[in-house]
Amino acid sequence: MNVSSLIPPFDFQDHVVGLWASPDIAVGTAWTIAAACLVAIACGLLGCFLIVQGLALIGDAISHTVLLGIVVAFLLTGQFSGPAMFVGAAVTGILTAVLIEFIHRHSRVKQDAAIGIVFSSLFALGVILLSTMATHAHIDADCVLFGKLDTISFDKMAVAGFMIPVSVVQLLIVTAAVMLMIVLFYKELLAAAFDPQLAAVLGLRPRVVQYGLMGMLSLTVVSSFTAVGAILVVAMMIAPPATAYLLTKRLPVMLLLSALFGVTSAVLGTHLAFWLDASTAGAMVCVACGLFTLSFLFSPSQGLIAGSYRRHQMKGSAEEPQFAP
């Protein structure tokens, strides 16, 4: 089978301009991109603090363990919305971080193994509760994985006289909260990320800062869950920050680049999905991973090609004959 026959020919007029030609289609596309951009910014900013600490897997773990908090909140309130769901998710996220740290500190188990144990245990408990005690709750597996980006504009609410998708309003609030937290507690987050011992000496309480970060991460995950799905949340939490990490050694620049790469992935991914008639969230993830691949190969300071060139230059210099004066 010819692979090229499976890929439709690209036409700029149809696959780029066509998305914005009709007012109805343009509005839906704009809301889809807006929701994805908000998720990319919020997850990317938080992901930077995870990447610099080597805790990217904790983000993946929390994105799954919040299911337990969501199910418990549903069992208590009977609905998958409202403050109870966010409280349940935040508590579960903090519990995940506490259990991982407790196991790592009080046993010979390394942190990656502790993450795997806590992640699988809490996620499995959430699945069991969902399948036994919350059987009347309608949760679509495809919606959990890929979200409802393509239909996000169907459910709207009035805000200052404008009809805005409910998910976009929620994501806007959460993204603003994430940015506000980083602005207000940047010094504490910076110290806790790079030198927890110094932060403790300075009285900044790095453990409390870390739990606050995990709580905000949980709120971001649960607010993004139904809109974009778990796969895109995890990808935007890791891929754009990792891409930025290869391009700079300064955290402020890393934060800006991460947000930029996330927004770029959202915009290009939407058009890629329209061209290939594929999952919008999946296409965004592919673009984000593609940007990471480019950074991995061509980063001037940490790229694979640049590193190979420097090693070749050093080897050539070492092999040059040395003459005594």
Query: What's the burial of 284, exposed, middle or buried (CB within 10 Å: 0-12/13-18/19+)?
Result: buried
pLDDT at 325: 47
Q: Tell me if 281 is assigned to some domain.
A: no
pLDDT at 272: 92
pLDDT at 261: 98
Give CA–CA dist 63/81, Å, rounded.
17
pLDDT at 256: 97
Residue at 320: amino acid letter: E
Q: Tell me if 4 is assigned to some domain.
A: no
Residues of the chain with pLDDT under 50: 323-325
pLDDT at 145: 64
E-assigned strand segments in the chain: 156-159, 162-165
Contacts of residue 321, Cβ cutoff 8 Å, sequence gap at least 6? none
Structure tokens at 11: 């036409």
Q: Residue 100 is part of which domain span?
A: 11-229
Longest CA–CA separation in the chain, Å: 88
Q: Tell me if 185 is assigned to some domain.
A: yes
Q: Tell me if 277 is assigned to some domain.
A: no
Over 172-232, what HEC string results?
A: HHHHHHHHHHHHHCHHHHHHHHHCHHHHHHCCCCHHHHHHHHHHHHHHHHHHHHHHHCHHH
- The CATH number given to whatever domain includes residue 58 is 1.10.3470.10
Q: Is residue 269 within 8 Å of residue 283, measured between CB atoms?
A: yes
The model scores a pTM over 0.85: yes
Q: Tell me if 265 is assigned to some domain.
A: no
Q: Tell me if 237 is assigned to some domain.
A: no
The domain tally of the chain equals: 1
Give CA–CA dist 36/272, Å, rounded.
14
Q: Tell me if 285 is assigned to some domain.
A: no
203-247 per-position pLDDT tens digit = 888 888 888 888 888 888 888 877 788 889 999 999 999 999 999
Could you count the other beta carbons within 10 Å of the beta carbon of residue 164?
16
Q: Tell me if 264 is assigned to some domain.
A: no
